[in-house]
Amino acid sequence: EAAERAVEPLGLLVTVHHQYTHHRREVECWLCSTADSTKRENEKWVTLKEMEQYAFPAGARKVLEHIKAV
């Protein structure tokens, strides 16, 4: 998804293939760096552990599981 801050892509972390009821998705997750860590309205920085308390669709959960394993 588009971010409202400038980021520098550092490398591809994982490509996840996920099957929904009527279509397939291929999601690329990239490691990025940003010089702008300012929290904006309706944003919150959280740790990987804190991410467990949020609901994510199945495809996004696959990405998070990969990140936790790295």
pLDDT tens across 4-50, in order?
778 899 999 989 888 878 888 888 889 888 888 777 788 888 898 89
Q: Is residue 57 predicted with pLDDT exceeding 90?
A: no
Query: Measured at the alpha carbon of residue 13, what is the angle toward residues 32 and 35, in degrees to the nearest 5?
Result: 10
pLDDT given for residue 9 in this prediction:
92
pLDDT given for residue 66 in this prediction:
86
* Domain regions of the chain by residue span: 8-69
pLDDT given for residue 3 in this prediction:
61
Q: How many CB atoms lie within 10 A of CB 3?
A: 10
